[in-house]
Structure 1
Amino acid sequence: MTTGGFDPNNPAGGQPGDPYGQPPQGYNPPPQNPGGNPPPPGNYPPPPPNFDDQAAYGASNRLPGGGEPGGLGIRFGARLIDGLLVGIVAFLLALVFGASDNFLVTGLFSGLLTFIYFVAFEVTQGWTPAKKVLGLSVHGPGGAEKPTLQQSAIRNAFTLLSIIPIIGGFLAIIAYIIIAVTINGSATKQGKHDELAGGTQVVKG
C-alpha cells in the first residue's frame, strides 16, 4: 500500500524489487579515474589566450626586479673592453709620474684605477662604457636603478687583489674564475660578487 505516491518498499524511486533504486534508463555515469590514470580522451577547454609555455617555464630565469640577465659571454666581453681602457689610462698615468718602468707601481695604478673606474660609473650611471655599448646595465638588489656606493665597492673589491705584491695577480685570476663559474651556474646570472653585494644584477637593455 502506498500513501501520496510514496512506496516504503522502494524509497529511492528505483524499479520495484530494488530497495536501493537504479538510475533512470539511458543515464551514463561520469568516467572514473582510478589509480591516477590519465583521463580518457575527449574535448577539453583550450588554454587561456596568449598562453606561452616558454614564458611560463622561463619565468624562474627572470631577475628579482624583472629584466633579462646578461650572460657570461657578453659580460666577459664588456669586462675585457673596460679592462683595456683602464690599462691604457693607467699606463699614461705611469708615464706622467715617471713610473712606467716599475711593474709594481704600474700594477698599483692599474688595480686601483680599475676599482675606481667601475665603482664611479656603476654608482653614477648604472653602467660602464663597455657595458653601455653592449647594451648592459648594472642594477642594485631587487631591481634598483643603480647600486649604492657600498654595493658597487663590494662587487668590485676583487679588482684590488692585483695590488697585493707577488701573489696579487694569482689571487685575481682565482677570483675571476670563481665569479665566472658562479655566473654560469646561476639561473639569473648573478655571480659570487653580486651575491656578496646583496644581489646586484647585470641586465640586458
Structure 2
Amino acid sequence: MSNVAGFWVRLGARLLDALLIGMVIGTFVFLFQMDTGSRVTQTIESVASILYFVLLPVFVYGYTVAKRLLNIRIVKKDGGNVGFGAMVVREVIGGFIYVMTFGIALVVSAFMVGLRKDKRSLHDFLAGTYVTHDRPEHWE
C-alpha cells in the first residue's frame, strides 16, 4: 500500500459526492415536480447513490467525481483496480453494517482512518481495498 489518503480528504470527497448526488436528484425532483418525501423519490435517491458509489469506481479506475477532483481513488489491497464485487462489499455491505450498528461502526471506521498507519476503514477491510493518492499506471 502506498501514498494512502487520510481522513480529511476522504471525508471531503464523500461530502462533495453527496452534494453532487443531492443536486442531481434535486434537479430531477424539481423538473418532474415530485414529492420530496415520497417513497418513490427516496427510492430513486437510494438507487442512484448506490449505482454512483458502486459502479463509477469500477469503470473509472476507482474514482468518483469528487475523488477525481481531490486526486484520490479506491484500489484493491494489491494496488489493482477495484471490481464490482469489491465495491458492492465496500459500499452496500459496509453501509448496511454502519446502519445496523446505529453508526457506531461508522465512528470506529472514522477513528481507523484517522489513526491507523494504513488509513483503512472497516469497509476497506471488508472489501480488501484502500484509498490512495496514486494515479492509475496508464493514466495520462
| TM-score bin (small chain) | 0.7 to 0.9
How many Å separate the matches in 1 of 2:44 and 2:27? 10
Any idea what SS the aligned residue of 1:139 has? Answer: strand
Going from structure 1 to structure 2, the CA distance change for 1:190 and 1:92 (only over 3 Å counts) comes to: same
Deviation at 1:185, TM superposition (A): 3.0
Q: Distance in 2 between matches of 1:187 and 1:110?
A: 35
Structure 1 residue identity aligned to 2:121: G
The C-alpha deviation readout for 1:138-195, integer Å capped at 9, x for no partner, is 1113111x11100011111144689xxxxx6x94x44532321222232100100010
TM-score of the two chains, using structure 1 as the length reference: 0.56
Hey, what does 2:69 align to over in structure 1? Answer: 133
Matches within 5 A, 1:111-190: 111-125=46-60, 126-144=62-80, 146-157=81-92, 158-159=94-95, 171=102, 173-190=103-120
Per-residue Cα deviation, 1:50-88 (whole angstroms, up to 9, x for no partner): xxxxxxxxxxxxx2xxx2100001000000000100111
Q: In 2 relative to 1, CA 88–101 (structure 1 residues): closer, same or farther, beyond 3 Å?
A: same
| Separation in 2, partners of 1:79, 1:103 | 25
Structure 1 residues 128 and 76, CA, compared in 2 at 3 Å: closer, same or farther? Answer: same
Query: Which residue number corresponds to residue 137 of structure 2?
Result: none
- How far apart in 2 are the matches of 1:142 and 1:118? 21
State the number of aligned residues.
131
Q: 1:100 to 1:115 in 2, by over 3 A?
A: same
Q: Are the equivalent residues in 2 in contact too, given 1:139–1:203 (CA < 8 A)?
A: yes
Alignment of 1:9-28 (within 5 A): none
- CA distances 1:14-36 after superposition (whole Å, capped 9, x unpaired): xxxxxxxxxxxxxxxxxxxxxxx
Task: Work out whether 1:79 is the aligned partner of 2:30.
Answer: no
Higher relative contact order (CA 8 A, sep 6+): 2
Larger Rg: 1
Say if 2:105 and 2:122, in contact at 8 Å, map to a contact too.
no
